[in-house]
Structure 1
C-alpha cells in the first residue's frame, strides 16, 4: 500500500487533510506524485456547495473526494496497459475536463484517489483514454500547474468566431488586428488572458482592460508591457454604466469591439458589453455565474442585422491543455506573473475556503511541504526567499520554487 496525504471534502465547507492508503494500481491505472497545485475559485464554489455541486458524489460524508484540479507532478508507476505511452519519472499535467457524456465526474471534484492537493494519486484509465494525461517539458512544476487555467483561456479565444467576408461561414478565433475588451481583467484569469492576447499567433491591434482596483491595474500594466498591441488599463470604479460605455466607446473612436470577454458575471455589464459590440462582434461570457438563473438582456435586432453573437466556455480540453503546455515550456507565456501566494498542503483547506477574502492572484500549493501561506509581496526582502524574489522583480521563479522544495519541511 502507498500512503498519501490529501485535502478532501467531506461536505459543505468541511475540508480536511487526511492520510489515506492508496490501493494497488490496476493494469490500466498510473501512480503519480503531485508536486504543485494552483487554486481555482471553482474549488471555493465546490467547498460552498458540497453535495449540491453537480460534479460531486451525492454522499460526501461517506465518500469524500480529493480536491484540486490545476496540478503538475511526476509519474511513479505505470500499469501495463499504458507502459508504451508513459514512463516512470516523466513529468505530467492533467486536463481535468474529461468532457464525457456519461458522467460529469472529473479529477479534483469527484474521485477518491485523484486531485491536485495530494502528495500521491492514482490516475484512472479514463484520463489516459481521453488524452488528458499530458507530458510536460517545462522548467518548473508551478508552470505545469498553470497549464490548466491557460487552457481555459485558449479555449475561450478559440471559441470566438467571425464571419468570412461575403459568406455566412465563420473563421474561428479572435479577429486578428481587431479591438478587444476584457471586463474585470486584473484578476489571475484576466492576466493570463492578457498574456495570451499579447503572445498568441492572432493578436488584437487594441486591447483594453477594465477593473475597479487601481493597485491591481497598475500591477497588470507593469507586468504586461507591449510594443505591437495598443494596450490600455482603465479604472471604472465609481462610473455609472452609461459613463463606462461612453468612455469605452471613445477609446475606439466610436467603433466598438470585435472581441469582448466578461471576467465577471454582472448583468448590467453584460448588457453594456452587448451594446459595445461591432458588427460581427463576439461576446464571451468567460466567468462562471454562481447563480443558475443569471441572465441579461440581449439585442436581437443586432443579432439579426449586425451579426453579433455570444459564446461561453467552461474549462478547456485536452487539445487546449497540450497547447498551453507547449507555449509555457517554450516561454512564450510567463505564467509566474499571476502567482501571489504560495503555501504548504497543511494550509490548503483554510486558503481554499478564504480565497475571496484573501484576494490577489493564484495561490500555489506545494503538496509535499508544510508551511503557512506566504504572500509574495510581503516577504522580508532581507530573507533568503526575499532576495530570490528581488532578483526576479518580485515574481515567482524556478529559483524560488527550488528554494521552497529544498528548505521547507515535509508534511
Structure 2
C-alpha cells in the first residue's frame, strides 16, 4: 500500500513524499486518514528536529510522519484484532500514548504512524493501551479536534485545590469559582471558553484576555454574554494591550479577591507573571502553553505560595478518558470544536503551514489529506467564490452556520474536491 505523507528529516526539513507502507502484522491496523488538525506542538518538533524529546536521533535516516490530531477509516485489521475492530468503520485516536514510560507518540516518533498522510499503520501498542478508538460520529474533523479538546479537558481536571489543615487535594476547577483565561482568544483558548461554559462544573465568573482585538471580536461573536448568562456564567472579555496595570484591572473584576483558577495560553514571561499576580487564596495557575526554550522562566511570588497556598502546574495532552469526554460532549452538541478552526487546506499545504504556523493568523488549521488545496481562511471563501464554484458553495454553507466549519462543509469538500 502506497501512502503520501509529510515527513520530518530534521530541523525545518519537512517533505511531502510518496512511499510504500510495510504489510501489517496480526497485531496492527491499516487506516486511511481523512482529517488532521495542525498543532503548535508539531511546529515545535519541526523546528527542533533531533533536539525535540520525542523525535528519534536517526530521523535524518528514518524520517517520521508528522501530525497527531487525526481521524479516518479502518482499511485492514490484523487477525488478532478482528474481534475489536471492523474494516470500514471510522476511528479516533488518543496520541498521548505514554507506552511503558516512553515519550514516543504519533506525529513525532514513528516512521509509518502520523496524521499528515493518506494511509498509515497503527502499531500494536496503540491498541494494547486502548488509545485506538472506534468512532461513530458524523464528521471526521470532530474526531480530529477531540485531541486538542482533550488537552483542555485534561487541564481543567488537573487543576487542584486544598483546605487549611488538610492534606487532601480536591481535583478540578472550583465550581462556581472565578476563572481567568489569559492570552486566550486563539484556538485553544476558544476551546477552553466553550468547555468552561458547557461542562457540568462551571465557574461563576470567566474572564478572557488577549491583546489582539480581531481575535477578541471573533470570540465575542461566537460566545455572547447572553449565552454565557444562560449557562450561569458571567463572561468578560478584556483587551490588555494598552492596560498599564493588568493584574490590578483583572483583580478588580473579582472584587480584589483574586481568581481560583488561571490558565495561561502563551509562553510569554509577563503573561505568566500576570497569572501569578491575580491568583486568590489557594489559587491554581496552569501554565498550559509549552515553551520551546528549555530555560524559560518567570518571576513568581513565593510569599503567596507559602502564606496564600497559591500553586502552579502545567499539563501537556489529555488522557483517553478526556478524549472520550470530548467526543461525548461533541456528540451531544454541548461543545462545538469547530470554534477553533479558521483555515482549511490539503496535504500539499502541510509543510509550509507547519513551518510558518506562529506567523499565520487565526485559529486551528484543518487539513484534509486526500485533497490538494492551498491553506485558505474560512473567511476568504466568499471572496474566492467569485471565481471558484467550490469556494462559493462552501461560503454559503458556513454562512448558514455562524461562519463556522461544519459537517455539511466537510461532506461537500470530500465529495467535490478530492484530488
Residues 151 and 317 in structure 1, CA contact (< 8 A), matched pair in contact too? yes
Candidates 388, 394, 397, aligned match of 2:397: 388
Q: CA offsets, 1:188-242, max 9 Å, x none?
A: 00000111100111000000000001111011011012122100110011333xx
The aligned runs of 1:296-375 (5 Å cut-off) are 296-375=298-377
Q: Which residue of the partner structure matches residue 176 of structure 1?
A: 175
Please give the alpha-carbon distance, in whole angstroms, between the structure 2 residues aligned to 1:363 and 1:178.
Answer: 33
Residues 344 and 365 in structure 1, CA contact (< 8 A), matched pair in contact too? yes
Please give the alpha-carbon distance, in whole angstroms, between the structure 2 residues aligned to 1:170 and 1:103.
Answer: 28
Residues 98 and 104 in structure 2, CA contact (< 8 A), matched pair in contact too? no
Q: What is the deviation of 1:9?
A: 0.9
Q: CA offsets, 1:128-171, max 9 Å, x none?
A: 11111122222201101101000100110011011257633121
Please give the alpha-carbon distance, in whole angstroms, between the structure 2 residues aligned to 1:305 and 1:401.
Answer: 53
**2:285 corresponds to 1:294:** no
Please give the alpha-carbon distance, in whole angstroms, between the structure 2 residues aligned to 1:146 and 1:329.
Answer: 13
**2:153 corresponds to 1:154:** yes
Please give the alpha-carbon distance, in whole angstroms, between the structure 1 residues aligned to 2:418 and 2:334.
Answer: 33
Please give the alpha-carbon distance, in whole angstroms, between the structure 1 residues aligned to 2:159 and 2:216.
Answer: 25
Q: CA offsets, 1:80-122, max 9 Å, x none?
A: 2222211112211111111134422110111111110101110
Relative distance call for 1:311 and 1:102 in structure 2 (3 A) is closer
Please give the alpha-carbon distance, in whole angstroms, between the structure 1 residues aligned to 2:382 and 2:122.
Answer: 39
Q: Which residue of the partner structure matches residue 246 of structure 1?
A: 248
Task: Point out 4+ residue stretches in structure 1 off by more than 3 angstroms.
Answer: none
Q: Which residue of the partner structure matches residue 37 of structure 1?
A: 36
Q: Which residue of the partner structure matches residue 389 of structure 2?
A: none
The aligned runs of 1:170-209 (5 Å cut-off) are 170-209=169-208
TM-score norm. by structure 2 comes to: 0.94
Q: Which residue of the partner structure matches residue 408 of structure 1?
A: 417
**2:89 corresponds to 1:85:** no
Please give the alpha-carbon distance, in whole angstroms, between the structure 2 residues aligned to 1:306 and 1:390.
Answer: 49
Residues 344 and 367 in structure 2, CA contact (< 8 A), matched pair in contact too? yes
Q: What is the deviation of 1:372?
A: 1.4
Q: CA offsets, 1:241-271, max 9 Å, x none?
A: xx11111011111111000001011222222
Please give the alpha-carbon distance, in whole angstroms, between the structure 1 residues aligned to 2:78 and 2:336.
Answer: 34
Q: SS of the residue aligned with 2:382?
A: coil
Residues 28 and 80 in structure 1, CA contact (< 8 A), matched pair in contact too? yes
Q: SS of the residue aligned with 1:379?
A: helix
TM-score norm. by structure 1 comes to: 0.96
CA RMSD of aligned residues (A): 1.3
Residues 9 and 64 in structure 2, CA contact (< 8 A), matched pair in contact too? yes
Q: Which residue of the partner structure matches residue 122 of structure 1?
A: 121
Please give the alpha-carbon distance, in whole angstroms, between the structure 2 residues aligned to 1:399 and 1:298.
Answer: 48
Please give the alpha-carbon distance, in whole angstroms, between the structure 2 residues aligned to 1:218 and 1:269.
Answer: 20
Q: SS of the residue aligned with 1:105?
A: coil
Q: Which residue of the partner structure matches residue 388 of structure 2?
A: none
Please give the alpha-carbon distance, in whole angstroms, between the structure 2 residues aligned to 1:281 and 1:61.
Answer: 45
Q: Tell me the number of residue pairs that the alignment of Structure 1 and Structure 2 aligns.
A: 407
Residues 336 and 396 in structure 1, CA contact (< 8 A), matched pair in contact too? yes
Please give the alpha-carbon distance, in whole angstroms, between the structure 2 residues aligned to 1:368 and 1:329.
Answer: 25
Residues 260 and 283 in structure 1, CA contact (< 8 A), matched pair in contact too? yes
Please give the alpha-carbon distance, in whole angstroms, between the structure 1 residues aligned to 2:336 and 2:215.
Answer: 17
Q: What is the deviation of 1:16?
A: 1.1
Please give the alpha-carbon distance, in whole angstroms, between the structure 2 residues aligned to 1:69 and 1:192.
Answer: 18
Please give the alpha-carbon distance, in whole angstroms, between the structure 1 residues aligned to 2:22 and 2:408.
Answer: 35
Runs of 5+ consecutive residues of structure 1 not aligned to the other structure: none
Please give the alpha-carbon distance, in whole angstroms, between the structure 2 residues aligned to 1:24 and 1:280.
Answer: 54
Please give the alpha-carbon distance, in whole angstroms, between the structure 2 residues aligned to 1:336 and 1:10.
Answer: 31
Q: SS of the residue aligned with 1:260?
A: strand
Please give the alpha-carbon distance, in whole angstroms, between the structure 2 residues aligned to 1:260 and 1:102.
Answer: 29
Q: SS of the residue aligned with 1:46?
A: helix
Please give the alpha-carbon distance, in whole angstroms, between the structure 2 residues aligned to 1:310 and 1:396.
Answer: 35
Q: What is the deviation of 1:272?
A: 2.5
